[in-house]
Amino acid sequence: MNFRGLSCTGKTSLLTSIVAQSILPSTWEFQVGEDTFSIDLGGSGASVIFLDLDLQFTVNRLYSVALYRVTNAIENSPHEIKTKLLGRDESIQKLILESLGRCHLFKIASIEDFSNTLYGLPRWFEKHSEENVQFVMIDSLSSLLWSKEDQTGINHHMYGSQTEKVHIQITKIIRQMQAKWNFVLCTTSRKIAASTADELPPCWTKFWDFCLDLNRYDNDQTKQLADYHCQLVRSSRSHVPLETSHAQFGLRYTIKDNDIVTFDDIE
């Protein structure tokens, strides 16, 4: 799945939210004396590989999201369980840190670093065969097309034939790993103003027929809660029709305490 949007539409925040959901366990069991209690956290207890090309992802934000979700789960648990957790902050801290250990972050500054990292990932998978990797995330693919010195526009010379070959080779490696280790590829990319076209080289769209288009409905940076909308759209290079049921999918959301929250939850 690809999340596509202009700057400041919450692309990295959405990925962070998905990471938190993946790395937290389904339930948290803790003991008080000889009694065992459990809280439903709704996570997957899986691992995530995060390839950060935008250098915007932070572990502190992920920690905040995980803490927010665990705290909410505790608040929504029966009174008996909440009282058992009074004064057990160390247990909560241990739970979150153990979960964070399932997020494997790679900071990447160039397409060369990206290629080298991908070539090394099969060895990483072999070495960590006991881990259930649910997602490989790339944030953002558009960084491979931009000049790091001048981010006012696309660096057009990176669309040359040599660069196209590099992207084809990169996507080939990812598809081979995906076939062997069965993870979900989750990416972000930049939207070009009001255009519906994909700026990515065609080889990337082999991974998806649809993407999630992100938009911000307000431009007031002083508002406490910004108003965003997520809509399922068909890739401009896809020949698969968008069914009516899928076309109706949309989500209005905001970012609160570093986590994605729907307006229904707020209201």
Q: Residue written as tokens 């990337």?
A: 204
pLDDT at 149 > cutoff 60: no
Q: Categorize the per-residue pLDDT at 241 as very low, low, confident or very high, splitting at 50, 70 and 90.
A: low
- The whole-angstrom separation of Cα 259 and Cα 194 is 27
For residue 144, the 8-state DSSP code is G
Query: Taking the CB of residue 49, how many other CB atoms lie within 10 A of it?
Result: 23
Percentage of residues in the chain with pLDDT exceeding 70? 75
Spatial strand order of the sheet with 259-262 comes to 103-107, 47-52, 133-139, 184-190, 2-5, 210-216, 228-234, 250-256, 259-262
CA distances from 157 to 48, 66, 162 (A): 33, 41, 10
Indicate if the alpha-carbon torsion angle 191, 58, 126, 121 is positive or negative: positive
Q: Identify the CA nearest to 117 among candidates 208, 49, 15, 59.
A: 49
pLDDT at 228 > cutoff 80: no
pLDDT for residue 194: 54
pLDDT for residue 215: 80
DSSP string, 56-76: ---HHHHHHHHHHHHHHHHHT
Which residue segments constitute the domains of the chain, with CATH numbers given?
Answer: 2-197 (3.40.50.300)
Q: Are 254 and 228 in contact, with CB atoms under 8 Å apart?
A: yes
pLDDT for residue 138: 95
pLDDT at 227 > cutoff 90: no
pLDDT at 55 > cutoff 60: yes
Mean pLDDT computed over 65-85? 88
State the average pLDDT for the chain: 80
The CA-based angle 237-186-134, given to 5 degrees, is: 140
Percentage of residues in the chain with pLDDT exceeding 90? 37
- pTM, to two decimals: 0.83
Q: Categorize the per-residue pLDDT at 236 as very low, low, confident or very high, splitting at 50, 70 and 90.
A: low
Alpha helices in the chain (DSSP H): 11-23, 59-75, 79-84, 89-100, 111-127, 161-181, 244-247, 263-266
Q: Cα–chain-centroid distance for residue 222?
A: 26
